[in-house]
A and B are shown apart, each in its own frame.
Chain A
Protein backbone atom coordinates (compact mmCIF):
# COMPACT_ATOMS: atom_id res chain seq x y z
CA UNK A 1 0.00 0.00 0.00
CA UNK A 2 2.69 2.42 1.03
CA UNK A 3 4.79 1.47 -1.94
CA UNK A 4 1.85 2.17 -4.19
CA UNK A 5 1.35 5.68 -2.87
CA UNK A 6 5.08 6.32 -3.14
CA UNK A 7 4.96 5.11 -6.69
CA UNK A 8 2.08 7.36 -7.45
CA UNK A 9 3.78 10.40 -6.04
CA UNK A 10 6.92 9.61 -7.93
CA UNK A 11 4.96 9.17 -11.13
CA UNK A 12 3.10 12.40 -10.60
CA UNK A 13 6.33 14.28 -9.93
CA UNK A 14 7.88 12.88 -13.09
CA UNK A 15 4.87 13.89 -15.16
CA UNK A 16 4.82 17.31 -13.55
CA UNK A 17 8.54 17.80 -14.23
CA UNK A 18 7.99 16.71 -17.82
CA UNK A 19 5.20 19.25 -18.24
CA UNK A 20 7.34 21.94 -16.62
CA UNK A 21 10.21 21.57 -19.09
CA UNK A 22 7.94 21.09 -22.08
CA UNK A 23 7.86 24.73 -23.21
CA UNK A 24 11.63 24.70 -23.25
CA UNK A 25 11.86 21.74 -25.61
CA UNK A 26 8.93 22.44 -27.91
CA UNK A 27 7.95 25.49 -29.87
CA UNK A 28 4.60 24.09 -30.90
CA UNK A 29 2.03 26.74 -30.12
CA UNK A 30 -0.68 24.25 -30.87
CA UNK A 31 0.52 21.77 -28.27
CA UNK A 32 0.98 24.43 -25.61
CA UNK A 33 -2.48 25.89 -26.22
CA UNK A 34 -3.96 22.45 -26.07
CA UNK A 35 -2.23 21.70 -22.79
CA UNK A 36 -3.37 25.02 -21.34
CA UNK A 37 -6.96 24.08 -22.08
CA UNK A 38 -6.36 20.63 -20.60
CA UNK A 39 -5.02 22.21 -17.39
CA UNK A 40 -7.99 24.53 -17.03
CA UNK A 41 -10.58 21.90 -17.96
CA UNK A 42 -8.88 19.45 -15.59
CA UNK A 43 -9.60 21.82 -12.71
CA UNK A 44 -13.20 22.01 -13.89
CA UNK A 45 -13.40 18.21 -14.10
CA UNK A 46 -11.87 17.81 -10.63
CA UNK A 47 -14.47 20.15 -9.21
CA UNK A 48 -17.15 17.97 -10.77
CA UNK A 49 -15.52 14.87 -9.35
CA UNK A 50 -15.90 16.29 -5.86
CA UNK A 51 -19.67 16.13 -6.43
CA UNK A 52 -19.97 12.95 -8.48
CA UNK A 53 -17.06 10.88 -7.25
CA UNK A 54 -16.77 11.92 -3.64
CA UNK A 55 -20.28 12.98 -2.61
CA UNK A 56 -22.16 10.74 -5.02
CA UNK A 57 -24.54 13.35 -6.40
CA UNK A 58 -25.14 13.82 -10.10
CA UNK A 59 -25.49 17.45 -11.09
CA UNK A 60 -26.46 18.58 -14.56
CA UNK A 61 -25.95 22.20 -13.70
CA UNK A 62 -22.22 22.36 -13.29
CA UNK A 63 -21.91 24.69 -16.26
CA UNK A 64 -23.73 27.29 -14.15
CA UNK A 65 -20.59 27.67 -12.04
CA UNK A 66 -18.15 27.51 -14.93
CA UNK A 67 -20.26 30.03 -16.81
CA UNK A 68 -20.65 32.50 -13.95
CA UNK A 69 -16.89 32.45 -13.46
CA UNK A 70 -16.28 33.03 -17.14
CA UNK A 71 -18.87 35.78 -17.39
CA UNK A 72 -17.66 37.52 -14.22
CA UNK A 73 -14.24 37.89 -15.83
CA UNK A 74 -15.59 38.62 -19.28
CA UNK A 75 -18.14 41.22 -18.25
CA UNK A 76 -16.11 43.03 -15.60
CA UNK A 77 -12.92 43.29 -17.64
CA UNK A 78 -14.56 44.26 -20.90
CA UNK A 79 -16.99 46.76 -19.38
CA UNK A 80 -14.34 48.52 -17.30
CA UNK A 81 -11.53 47.97 -19.85
CA UNK A 82 -9.32 47.55 -16.81
CA UNK A 83 -7.38 44.26 -17.12
CA UNK A 84 -5.90 44.62 -13.67
CA UNK A 85 -9.29 43.97 -12.13
CA UNK A 86 -8.80 40.29 -12.99
CA UNK A 87 -8.34 39.25 -9.35
CA UNK A 88 -11.47 41.18 -8.40
CA UNK A 89 -13.37 39.51 -11.23
CA UNK A 90 -12.21 36.03 -10.19
CA UNK A 91 -13.18 36.71 -6.59
CA UNK A 92 -16.52 38.06 -7.74
CA UNK A 93 -17.06 34.84 -9.68
CA UNK A 94 -16.23 32.79 -6.58
CA UNK A 95 -18.60 34.89 -4.47
CA UNK A 96 -21.42 34.37 -6.95
CA UNK A 97 -20.62 30.66 -7.06
CA UNK A 98 -20.92 30.45 -3.26
CA UNK A 99 -24.26 32.19 -3.41
CA UNK A 100 -25.51 30.02 -6.26
CA UNK A 101 -24.30 26.86 -4.55
CA UNK A 102 -26.20 27.70 -1.38
CA UNK A 103 -29.35 28.66 -3.28
CA UNK A 104 -29.36 25.69 -5.64
CA UNK A 105 -28.45 23.33 -2.83
CA UNK A 106 -31.10 24.66 -0.49
CA UNK A 107 -33.82 24.31 -3.12
CA UNK A 108 -32.84 21.00 -4.61
CA UNK A 109 -30.75 18.93 -2.21
CA UNK A 110 -33.63 18.33 0.16
CA UNK A 111 -35.22 15.97 -2.33
CA UNK A 112 -34.14 12.57 -3.65
CA UNK A 113 -30.95 12.31 -5.67
CA UNK A 114 -32.77 11.73 -8.93
CA UNK A 115 -34.81 14.86 -8.41
CA UNK A 116 -31.64 16.81 -7.79
CA UNK A 117 -30.34 15.82 -11.21
CA UNK A 118 -33.54 16.94 -12.90
CA UNK A 119 -33.69 20.22 -11.05
CA UNK A 120 -30.09 21.15 -11.75
CA UNK A 121 -30.76 20.48 -15.42
CA UNK A 122 -33.75 22.82 -15.40
CA UNK A 123 -31.80 25.51 -13.55
CA UNK A 124 -28.90 25.19 -15.97
CA UNK A 125 -31.31 25.63 -18.86
CA UNK A 126 -32.68 28.71 -17.12
CA UNK A 127 -29.20 30.21 -16.79
CA UNK A 128 -28.42 29.41 -20.39
CA UNK A 129 -31.56 31.15 -21.61
CA UNK A 130 -31.02 34.17 -19.37
CA UNK A 131 -27.52 34.55 -20.78
CA UNK A 132 -28.93 34.41 -24.33
CA UNK A 133 -31.69 36.93 -23.67
CA UNK A 134 -29.82 39.41 -21.50
CA UNK A 135 -27.61 40.46 -24.35
CA UNK A 136 -26.88 43.97 -23.07
CA UNK A 137 -24.86 42.28 -20.33
CA UNK A 138 -23.66 39.04 -21.91
CA UNK A 139 -23.55 39.93 -25.60
CA UNK A 140 -26.14 37.21 -26.17
CA UNK A 141 -25.26 34.63 -28.74
CA UNK A 142 -22.39 36.71 -30.14
CA UNK A 143 -20.71 36.68 -26.76
CA UNK A 144 -18.02 38.99 -25.47
CA UNK A 145 -15.06 39.44 -27.75
CA UNK A 146 -11.50 40.61 -27.07
CA UNK A 147 -11.65 40.59 -23.31
CA UNK A 148 -8.75 42.74 -22.06
CA UNK A 149 -6.39 40.65 -19.94
CA UNK A 150 -3.21 41.56 -18.06
CA UNK A 151 -0.13 41.57 -20.29
CA UNK A 152 1.46 38.54 -18.64
CA UNK A 153 -1.47 36.37 -19.72
CA UNK A 154 -0.87 37.25 -23.34
CA UNK A 155 2.44 35.48 -23.36
CA UNK A 156 1.69 31.88 -24.18
CA UNK A 157 4.57 30.37 -22.26
CA UNK A 158 3.93 32.50 -19.19
CA UNK A 159 0.28 31.53 -19.34
CA UNK A 160 1.24 27.90 -19.72
CA UNK A 161 3.11 27.98 -16.43
CA UNK A 162 0.33 29.95 -14.78
CA UNK A 163 -2.26 27.39 -15.88
CA UNK A 164 -0.04 24.54 -14.71
CA UNK A 165 0.41 26.26 -11.35
CA UNK A 166 -3.35 26.81 -11.19
CA UNK A 167 -3.91 23.09 -11.76
CA UNK A 168 -1.35 22.04 -9.15
CA UNK A 169 -2.70 24.45 -6.53
CA UNK A 170 -6.29 23.39 -7.15
CA UNK A 171 -5.29 19.73 -7.07
CA UNK A 172 -3.53 20.16 -3.74
CA UNK A 173 -6.48 22.13 -2.39
CA UNK A 174 -9.05 19.54 -3.45
CA UNK A 175 -6.87 16.70 -2.21
CA UNK A 176 -6.72 18.45 1.12
CA UNK A 177 -10.52 18.78 1.08
CA UNK A 178 -11.19 15.13 0.30
CA UNK A 179 -8.68 13.90 2.88
CA UNK A 180 -10.12 16.12 5.60
CA UNK A 181 -12.86 15.04 8.02
CA UNK A 182 -15.25 16.96 5.77
CA UNK A 183 -14.16 14.94 2.76
CA UNK A 184 -14.50 11.69 4.68
CA UNK A 185 -18.02 12.63 5.67
CA UNK A 186 -18.83 13.35 2.03
CA UNK A 187 -17.51 9.94 1.03
CA UNK A 188 -19.55 8.34 3.78
CA UNK A 189 -22.63 10.09 2.38
CA UNK A 190 -21.79 8.65 -1.01
CA UNK A 191 -21.56 5.16 0.45
CA UNK A 192 -24.59 5.23 2.70
CA UNK A 193 -26.53 8.39 3.15
CA UNK A 194 -29.04 7.01 5.64
CA UNK A 195 -26.38 5.69 7.94
CA UNK A 196 -24.59 9.03 8.01
CA UNK A 197 -27.88 10.72 8.73
CA UNK A 198 -28.67 8.38 11.59
CA UNK A 199 -25.24 9.10 13.03
CA UNK A 200 -26.48 12.63 13.55
CA UNK A 201 -24.90 14.39 10.61
CA UNK A 202 -26.89 17.02 8.77
CA UNK A 203 -26.48 15.39 5.35
CA UNK A 204 -28.09 18.24 3.40
CA UNK A 205 -25.71 20.73 4.97
CA UNK A 206 -22.69 18.64 4.01
CA UNK A 207 -23.98 18.23 0.48
CA UNK A 208 -24.45 21.98 0.19
CA UNK A 209 -20.88 22.52 1.40
CA UNK A 210 -19.70 20.06 -1.23
CA UNK A 211 -21.69 21.89 -3.90
CA UNK A 212 -20.32 25.25 -2.77
CA UNK A 213 -16.67 24.16 -2.78
CA UNK A 214 -17.11 22.45 -6.12
CA UNK A 215 -18.84 25.54 -7.50
CA UNK A 216 -16.06 27.84 -6.31
CA UNK A 217 -13.40 25.77 -8.03
CA UNK A 218 -15.47 25.46 -11.20
CA UNK A 219 -16.00 29.21 -11.20
CA UNK A 220 -12.25 29.81 -11.00
CA UNK A 221 -11.76 27.40 -13.89
CA UNK A 222 -14.38 29.32 -15.86
CA UNK A 223 -12.61 32.59 -15.09
CA UNK A 224 -9.29 31.17 -16.26
CA UNK A 225 -11.03 29.90 -19.37
CA UNK A 226 -12.28 33.41 -20.17
CA UNK A 227 -8.75 34.79 -19.70
CA UNK A 228 -7.33 32.05 -21.91
CA UNK A 229 -9.85 32.40 -24.72
CA UNK A 230 -10.26 36.19 -24.38
CA UNK A 231 -13.66 35.45 -25.84
CA UNK A 232 -16.72 33.83 -24.36
CA UNK A 233 -20.25 33.16 -25.48
CA UNK A 234 -23.26 31.36 -24.11
CA UNK A 235 -21.66 27.96 -24.76
CA UNK A 236 -19.89 28.29 -21.38
CA UNK A 237 -23.33 27.84 -19.80
CA UNK A 238 -24.64 25.10 -22.09
CA UNK A 239 -25.50 21.55 -21.16
CA UNK A 240 -22.60 20.41 -23.36
CA UNK A 241 -20.24 22.13 -20.95
CA UNK A 242 -21.62 20.08 -18.07
CA UNK A 243 -21.45 16.93 -20.15
CA UNK A 244 -17.77 17.70 -20.82
CA UNK A 245 -17.07 17.59 -17.10
CA UNK A 246 -19.05 14.41 -16.77
CA UNK A 247 -17.26 12.65 -19.62
CA UNK A 248 -13.84 13.67 -18.31
CA UNK A 249 -14.64 12.48 -14.81
CA UNK A 250 -16.14 9.17 -15.92
CA UNK A 251 -13.45 8.38 -18.46
CA UNK A 252 -10.63 9.09 -16.02
CA UNK A 253 -12.36 7.49 -13.07
CA UNK A 254 -14.73 8.93 -10.48
CA UNK A 255 -13.45 9.47 -6.99
CA UNK A 256 -9.86 9.97 -8.09
CA UNK A 257 -8.74 13.55 -8.65
CA UNK A 258 -5.89 12.35 -10.86
CA UNK A 259 -8.48 10.52 -12.91
CA UNK A 260 -10.30 13.77 -13.62
CA UNK A 261 -7.07 15.38 -14.81
CA UNK A 262 -6.28 12.39 -16.96
CA UNK A 263 -9.83 12.34 -18.30
CA UNK A 264 -9.59 16.02 -19.23
CA UNK A 265 -6.48 15.22 -21.23
CA UNK A 266 -7.98 12.21 -22.98
CA UNK A 267 -11.23 13.98 -23.87
CA UNK A 268 -9.53 17.14 -25.11
CA UNK A 269 -6.97 15.31 -27.24
CA UNK A 270 -9.51 12.82 -28.56
CA UNK A 271 -11.86 15.64 -29.46
CA UNK A 272 -9.11 17.39 -31.40
CA UNK A 273 -7.90 14.23 -33.06
CA UNK A 274 -11.32 12.83 -33.97
CA UNK A 275 -12.56 16.13 -35.35
CA UNK A 276 -9.38 16.48 -37.40
CA UNK A 277 -10.32 13.17 -39.02
CA UNK A 278 -13.40 14.81 -40.50
CA UNK A 279 -11.32 15.63 -43.58
CA UNK A 280 -11.16 11.87 -44.16
CA UNK A 281 -14.81 11.19 -43.52
CA UNK A 282 -17.49 13.68 -42.43
CA UNK A 283 -18.77 11.20 -39.84
CA UNK A 284 -15.96 12.39 -37.56
CA UNK A 285 -17.68 15.75 -37.22
CA UNK A 286 -19.94 13.80 -34.93
CA UNK A 287 -17.01 12.75 -32.76
CA UNK A 288 -19.22 12.91 -29.69
CA UNK A 289 -20.94 9.77 -30.98
CA UNK A 290 -17.74 7.76 -30.57
CA UNK A 291 -17.15 9.30 -27.23
CA UNK A 292 -20.68 8.51 -26.16
CA UNK A 293 -20.10 4.86 -27.05
CA UNK A 294 -16.79 4.73 -25.18
CA UNK A 295 -18.45 6.45 -22.25
CA UNK A 296 -21.31 3.92 -22.16
CA UNK A 297 -18.83 1.05 -22.31
CA UNK A 298 -16.87 2.55 -19.43
CA UNK A 299 -19.95 3.05 -17.27
CA UNK A 300 -21.05 -0.53 -17.96
CA UNK A 301 -17.78 -2.43 -17.83
CA UNK A 302 -15.20 -0.22 -16.13
CA UNK A 303 -17.23 1.78 -13.64
CA UNK A 304 -14.03 3.00 -12.03
CA UNK A 305 -12.70 4.62 -15.17
CA UNK A 306 -9.19 4.36 -16.55
CA UNK A 307 -7.23 5.52 -13.53
CA UNK A 308 -9.50 3.71 -11.08
CA UNK A 309 -9.16 0.44 -12.98
CA UNK A 310 -5.37 0.75 -13.23
CA UNK A 311 -5.21 1.40 -9.49
CA UNK A 312 -7.30 -1.67 -8.79
CA UNK A 313 -5.00 -3.82 -10.90
CA UNK A 314 -1.98 -2.49 -9.01
CA UNK A 315 -3.63 -3.12 -5.68
CA UNK A 316 -4.18 -6.78 -6.53
CA UNK A 317 -0.55 -7.41 -7.36
Chain B
Protein backbone atom coordinates (compact mmCIF):
# COMPACT_ATOMS: atom_id res chain seq x y z
CA UNK B 1 0.00 0.00 0.00
CA UNK B 2 2.77 2.35 1.01
CA UNK B 3 4.56 1.45 -2.21
CA UNK B 4 1.56 2.22 -4.40
CA UNK B 5 0.99 5.54 -2.63
CA UNK B 6 4.64 6.43 -3.03
CA UNK B 7 4.60 5.57 -6.71
CA UNK B 8 1.42 7.59 -7.18
CA UNK B 9 3.02 10.56 -5.46
CA UNK B 10 6.18 10.24 -7.55
CA UNK B 11 4.15 9.86 -10.70
CA UNK B 12 2.06 12.96 -10.05
CA UNK B 13 5.19 14.95 -9.13
CA UNK B 14 6.93 13.85 -12.33
CA UNK B 15 3.77 14.66 -14.26
CA UNK B 16 3.85 18.19 -12.85
CA UNK B 17 7.44 18.66 -14.01
CA UNK B 18 6.58 17.38 -17.48
CA UNK B 19 3.56 19.68 -17.48
CA UNK B 20 5.77 22.71 -16.87
CA UNK B 21 7.73 21.98 -20.02
CA UNK B 22 4.82 20.63 -22.07
CA UNK B 23 2.42 23.52 -21.53
CA UNK B 24 4.74 26.14 -23.01
CA UNK B 25 5.64 23.88 -25.89
CA UNK B 26 1.99 23.17 -26.50
CA UNK B 27 0.93 26.83 -26.48
CA UNK B 28 3.79 27.82 -28.78
CA UNK B 29 3.01 24.94 -31.09
CA UNK B 30 -0.73 25.60 -30.98
CA UNK B 31 -0.54 29.34 -31.45
CA UNK B 32 2.24 29.70 -33.97
CA UNK B 33 2.62 26.20 -35.35
CA UNK B 34 6.27 26.34 -34.30
CA UNK B 35 7.71 23.05 -33.19
CA UNK B 36 10.33 24.35 -30.83
CA UNK B 37 13.21 21.88 -30.71
CA UNK B 38 15.10 24.24 -28.44
CA UNK B 39 12.47 23.98 -25.72
CA UNK B 40 14.30 21.18 -23.91
CA UNK B 41 17.51 23.21 -24.15
CA UNK B 42 15.77 26.17 -22.49
CA UNK B 43 14.55 23.80 -19.76
CA UNK B 44 18.06 22.59 -19.05
CA UNK B 45 19.57 26.08 -19.23
CA UNK B 46 17.03 27.07 -16.60
CA UNK B 47 18.17 24.16 -14.46
CA UNK B 48 21.84 25.10 -14.77
CA UNK B 49 21.24 28.80 -14.12
CA UNK B 50 19.23 27.78 -11.07
CA UNK B 51 22.02 25.46 -9.96
CA UNK B 52 24.56 28.26 -10.19
CA UNK B 53 22.46 30.82 -8.38
CA UNK B 54 21.49 28.29 -5.74
CA UNK B 55 25.14 27.42 -5.20
CA UNK B 56 26.13 31.09 -4.97
CA UNK B 57 23.33 32.39 -2.78
CA UNK B 58 21.96 29.31 -1.06
CA UNK B 59 18.46 30.56 -1.78
CA UNK B 60 16.24 28.24 -3.78
CA UNK B 61 13.70 31.02 -4.34
CA UNK B 62 16.36 33.17 -5.99
CA UNK B 63 17.41 30.15 -8.02
CA UNK B 64 13.86 29.67 -9.29
CA UNK B 65 13.59 33.34 -10.07
CA UNK B 66 16.91 33.55 -11.89
CA UNK B 67 16.23 30.38 -13.89
CA UNK B 68 12.81 31.64 -14.94
CA UNK B 69 14.13 35.05 -15.95
CA UNK B 70 16.91 33.34 -17.88
CA UNK B 71 14.31 31.26 -19.70
CA UNK B 72 12.15 34.28 -20.51
CA UNK B 73 15.16 36.16 -21.91
CA UNK B 74 16.24 33.17 -23.98
CA UNK B 75 12.71 32.70 -25.31
CA UNK B 76 12.42 36.38 -26.14
CA UNK B 77 15.71 36.43 -28.03
CA UNK B 78 15.00 33.19 -29.87
CA UNK B 79 11.59 34.37 -31.02
CA UNK B 80 12.72 37.80 -32.16
CA UNK B 81 15.92 36.75 -33.90
CA UNK B 82 15.24 33.29 -35.25
CA UNK B 83 11.55 32.45 -35.35
CA UNK B 84 9.99 35.74 -36.41
CA UNK B 85 11.52 35.90 -39.90
CA UNK B 86 10.22 32.43 -40.70
CA UNK B 87 6.54 32.36 -39.79
CA UNK B 88 4.63 29.99 -42.00
CA UNK B 89 7.75 28.08 -42.97
CA UNK B 90 7.55 25.05 -40.73
CA UNK B 91 10.56 23.28 -42.15
CA UNK B 92 12.83 26.32 -41.64
CA UNK B 93 11.52 26.72 -38.09
CA UNK B 94 12.19 23.10 -37.21
CA UNK B 95 15.67 23.29 -38.72
CA UNK B 96 16.45 26.57 -36.98
CA UNK B 97 15.31 25.51 -33.54
CA UNK B 98 17.24 22.28 -34.01
CA UNK B 99 20.37 24.35 -34.70
CA UNK B 100 19.66 26.39 -31.60
CA UNK B 101 19.33 23.17 -29.63
CA UNK B 102 22.77 22.07 -30.81
CA UNK B 103 24.38 25.41 -30.06
CA UNK B 104 22.69 25.76 -26.67
CA UNK B 105 23.55 22.27 -25.49
CA UNK B 106 27.17 22.61 -26.63
CA UNK B 107 27.34 26.05 -25.04
CA UNK B 108 26.02 24.54 -21.83
CA UNK B 109 28.83 22.00 -21.86
CA UNK B 110 31.40 24.76 -22.41
CA UNK B 111 30.17 26.77 -19.45
CA UNK B 112 29.33 24.02 -16.97
CA UNK B 113 31.14 20.99 -18.37
CA UNK B 114 29.54 17.79 -19.69
CA UNK B 115 29.38 15.94 -16.36
CA UNK B 116 26.61 15.35 -13.87
CA UNK B 117 26.29 18.06 -11.21
CA UNK B 118 24.66 17.34 -7.89
CA UNK B 119 21.63 19.50 -7.06
CA UNK B 120 20.60 19.26 -3.40
CA UNK B 121 17.14 19.95 -2.13
CA UNK B 122 16.86 23.14 -0.07
CA UNK B 123 17.11 22.37 3.63
CA UNK B 124 13.49 23.22 4.36
CA UNK B 125 12.29 20.74 1.79
CA UNK B 126 14.54 17.86 2.71
CA UNK B 127 13.25 14.98 4.78
CA UNK B 128 9.94 13.24 4.86
CA UNK B 129 6.48 13.72 6.26
CA UNK B 130 4.78 10.82 7.97
CA UNK B 131 1.13 10.37 7.17
CA UNK B 132 -0.66 7.36 8.70
CA UNK B 133 2.66 5.65 9.34
CA UNK B 134 3.83 6.12 5.76
CA UNK B 135 6.84 8.32 5.05
CA UNK B 136 6.73 10.60 2.00
CA UNK B 137 9.46 12.98 0.80
CA UNK B 138 8.50 16.60 1.30
CA UNK B 139 9.94 17.76 -2.00
CA UNK B 140 7.38 15.66 -3.87
CA UNK B 141 4.57 17.51 -2.14
CA UNK B 142 6.32 20.77 -2.86
CA UNK B 143 6.60 19.88 -6.57
CA UNK B 144 2.96 18.91 -6.73
CA UNK B 145 1.90 22.04 -4.86
CA UNK B 146 3.93 24.33 -7.09
CA UNK B 147 2.74 22.45 -10.17
CA UNK B 148 -0.89 22.90 -9.12
CA UNK B 149 -0.31 26.61 -8.52
CA UNK B 150 1.21 27.02 -11.98
CA UNK B 151 -1.60 24.98 -13.50
CA UNK B 152 -4.15 27.20 -11.80
CA UNK B 153 -2.22 30.32 -12.75
CA UNK B 154 -1.99 29.41 -16.41
CA UNK B 155 -5.64 28.39 -16.39
CA UNK B 156 -6.69 31.74 -14.95
CA UNK B 157 -4.41 33.58 -17.34
CA UNK B 158 -5.95 31.80 -20.30
CA UNK B 159 -9.56 32.08 -19.19
CA UNK B 160 -9.77 35.34 -17.24
CA UNK B 161 -7.45 37.80 -18.93
CA UNK B 162 -7.53 39.61 -22.22
CA UNK B 163 -4.21 38.06 -23.21
CA UNK B 164 -5.60 34.63 -22.49
CA UNK B 165 -8.52 35.37 -24.75
CA UNK B 166 -6.19 36.47 -27.54
CA UNK B 167 -4.04 33.38 -27.11
CA UNK B 168 -6.98 31.01 -27.12
CA UNK B 169 -8.48 32.73 -30.11
CA UNK B 170 -5.08 32.71 -31.79
CA UNK B 171 -4.73 28.96 -31.33
CA UNK B 172 -8.13 28.53 -32.97
CA UNK B 173 -7.67 30.96 -35.83
CA UNK B 174 -4.62 33.26 -36.01
CA UNK B 175 -5.72 34.94 -39.25
CA UNK B 176 -9.05 36.02 -37.76
CA UNK B 177 -7.38 37.45 -34.67
CA UNK B 178 -4.99 39.38 -36.89
CA UNK B 179 -7.88 40.61 -38.98
CA UNK B 180 -9.56 41.96 -35.86
CA UNK B 181 -6.64 44.34 -35.47
CA UNK B 182 -4.90 42.55 -32.62
CA UNK B 183 -1.14 42.53 -32.71
CA UNK B 184 -0.64 38.78 -33.04
CA UNK B 185 3.10 39.13 -33.50
CA UNK B 186 3.39 40.74 -30.11
CA UNK B 187 1.27 37.98 -28.63
CA UNK B 188 3.56 35.43 -30.31
CA UNK B 189 6.64 36.92 -28.72
CA UNK B 190 5.01 37.01 -25.32
CA UNK B 191 3.74 33.45 -25.52
CA UNK B 192 7.14 32.25 -26.66
CA UNK B 193 8.90 34.02 -23.80
CA UNK B 194 6.24 32.88 -21.34
CA UNK B 195 6.51 29.25 -22.48
CA UNK B 196 10.30 29.41 -22.30
CA UNK B 197 10.08 30.88 -18.80
CA UNK B 198 7.81 28.05 -17.67
CA UNK B 199 10.19 25.47 -19.14
CA UNK B 200 13.18 27.04 -17.39
CA UNK B 201 11.21 27.22 -14.15
CA UNK B 202 10.48 23.52 -14.59
CA UNK B 203 14.19 22.95 -15.07
CA UNK B 204 15.06 24.52 -11.72
CA UNK B 205 12.26 22.55 -10.05
CA UNK B 206 13.47 19.34 -11.65
CA UNK B 207 17.07 19.73 -10.46
CA UNK B 208 16.53 18.83 -6.76
CA UNK B 209 13.80 16.42 -7.75
CA UNK B 210 16.24 14.28 -9.76
CA UNK B 211 19.05 15.17 -7.36
CA UNK B 212 21.34 16.19 -10.19
CA UNK B 213 21.49 18.00 -13.52
CA UNK B 214 23.21 16.92 -16.72
CA UNK B 215 23.00 18.13 -20.33
CA UNK B 216 21.00 15.17 -21.68
CA UNK B 217 18.20 15.88 -19.22
CA UNK B 218 16.88 18.57 -21.56
CA UNK B 219 16.31 16.25 -24.49
CA UNK B 220 14.81 13.54 -22.29
CA UNK B 221 12.19 15.89 -20.92
CA UNK B 222 11.54 17.45 -24.29
CA UNK B 223 10.79 14.00 -25.63
CA UNK B 224 8.29 13.41 -22.84
CA UNK B 225 6.74 16.81 -23.60
CA UNK B 226 6.47 15.96 -27.32
CA UNK B 227 4.68 12.75 -26.46
CA UNK B 228 2.36 14.68 -24.15
CA UNK B 229 1.49 17.11 -26.94
CA UNK B 230 0.76 14.32 -29.37
CA UNK B 231 -1.42 12.59 -26.79
CA UNK B 232 -3.13 15.72 -25.50
CA UNK B 233 -3.76 17.51 -28.76
CA UNK B 234 -2.31 20.69 -30.24
CA UNK B 235 -2.44 23.80 -28.11
CA UNK B 236 -4.85 22.15 -25.72
CA UNK B 237 -4.24 23.26 -22.15
CA UNK B 238 -6.32 20.54 -20.50
CA UNK B 239 -4.80 18.00 -22.85
CA UNK B 240 -1.29 19.05 -21.83
CA UNK B 241 -2.17 18.79 -18.14
CA UNK B 242 -3.86 15.41 -18.32
CA UNK B 243 -1.35 14.03 -20.80
CA UNK B 244 1.51 15.07 -18.49
CA UNK B 245 -0.07 13.34 -15.50
CA UNK B 246 -0.71 10.25 -17.59
CA UNK B 247 2.88 10.08 -18.81
CA UNK B 248 4.29 10.90 -15.37
CA UNK B 249 2.31 8.11 -13.71
CA UNK B 250 2.92 5.62 -16.48
CA UNK B 251 6.64 6.31 -16.49
CA UNK B 252 6.95 6.04 -12.71
CA UNK B 253 5.03 2.79 -12.43
CA UNK B 254 6.82 1.24 -15.40
CA UNK B 255 10.18 2.36 -14.06
CA UNK B 256 9.44 0.44 -10.88
CA UNK B 257 7.83 -2.70 -12.25
CA UNK B 258 9.33 -3.07 -15.75
CA UNK B 259 12.25 -0.63 -15.87
CA UNK B 260 13.38 -1.73 -19.31
CA UNK B 261 10.07 -0.76 -20.86
CA UNK B 262 9.61 2.67 -19.25
CA UNK B 263 10.28 4.71 -22.37
CA UNK B 264 8.85 2.13 -24.72
CA UNK B 265 5.47 2.38 -23.07
CA UNK B 266 5.30 6.14 -23.65
CA UNK B 267 6.04 5.71 -27.32
CA UNK B 268 3.59 2.82 -27.52
CA UNK B 269 0.87 4.96 -25.94
CA UNK B 270 1.63 7.71 -28.42
CA UNK B 271 1.43 5.31 -31.36
CA UNK B 272 -1.88 3.97 -30.08
CA UNK B 273 -3.36 7.46 -29.74
CA UNK B 274 -2.13 8.36 -33.22
CA UNK B 275 -3.74 5.32 -34.77
CA UNK B 276 -7.05 5.72 -32.94
CA UNK B 277 -7.31 9.52 -32.79
CA UNK B 278 -4.56 11.33 -34.73
CA UNK B 279 -5.61 14.74 -33.42
CA UNK B 280 -4.93 13.68 -29.81
CA UNK B 281 -7.30 12.57 -27.07
CA UNK B 282 -8.46 16.11 -26.33
CA UNK B 283 -7.70 17.70 -29.66
CA UNK B 284 -10.35 19.00 -31.99
CA UNK B 285 -10.26 17.70 -35.54
CA UNK B 286 -9.10 20.40 -37.89
Contact = CB atoms under 8 A, between A and B. Distances in A.
A93 interface: no
Contacts of B267: 122-123, 125-126
Nearest to A122: B267
Given A246-B98, A299-B95, A288 B278 contact: no
Contacts of B110: 283, 286, 289
Contact of B271 (A52, A107, A118, A292): A107
B91 A296 contact: no
A117 B264 contact: no
A113 B95 CA distance: 13
Given A118-B230, A121-B226, A126-B263, A286 B106 contact: yes
Given A246-B95, A250-B95, A288-B102, A114 B35 contact: yes
Nearest to A128: B263
Contacts of A239: 219
B225 to A, nearest CB: 10
A308 interface: no
Please indicate which of the listed interface residues A56, A114, A250 has the most CB atoms of chain B within 10 Å of its own CB: A114
B278 A111 contact: yes
Contacts of B102: 243, 288-289, 291-292, 295
Given A117-B35, A243-B102, A288-B102, A299 B92 contact: yes
B264 A130 contact: yes
Nearest to B95: A299
Interface string B254-286: 000000100110110011001100100000000
A117 B94 contact: yes
Q: How large is the interface on A (under 10, 10 to 19, 20 to 34, 35 or more residues)?
A: 35 or more
B90 A113 contact: yes
Contact of A58 (B94, B103, B230, B271): B94
Contacts of A300: 82, 85, 96
Interface string B112-130: 0000000000000000000
Interface string A291-316: 11101100110010000000000000
A288 B223 CA distance: 21
Contact of A292 (B91, B103, B260): B103
Interface string A249-282: 0100000000000000000000000000000000
Closest CB pairs A-B (n = 9) = A292-B102, A289-B106, A292-B103, A296-B99, A118-B226, A114-B35, A126-B267, A286-B106, A295-B99
23 contacts: A56-B91, A107-B275, A108-B274, A114-B33, A114-B94, A115-B278, A118-B35, A119-B271, A122-B227, A122-B266, A122-B267, A125-B267, A126-B263, A129-B264, A130-B264, A239-B219, A246-B98, A289-B110, A293-B99, A296-B82, A296-B96, A296-B100, A300-B85
Interface of A: 52, 56, 58, 107-108, 110-111, 113-115, 117-119, 121-123, 125-126, 129-130, 133, 239, 243, 246, 250, 283, 286, 288-289, 291-293, 295-296, 299-300, 303
Given A239-B219, A293-B103, 19 more contacts: A58-B94, A110-B278, A111-B274, A114-B29, A115-B274, A118-B35, A118-B230, A119-B270, A122-B230, A122-B266, A125-B223, A125-B263, A126-B264, A243-B98, A286-B106, A288-B102, A296-B82, A299-B95, A303-B92
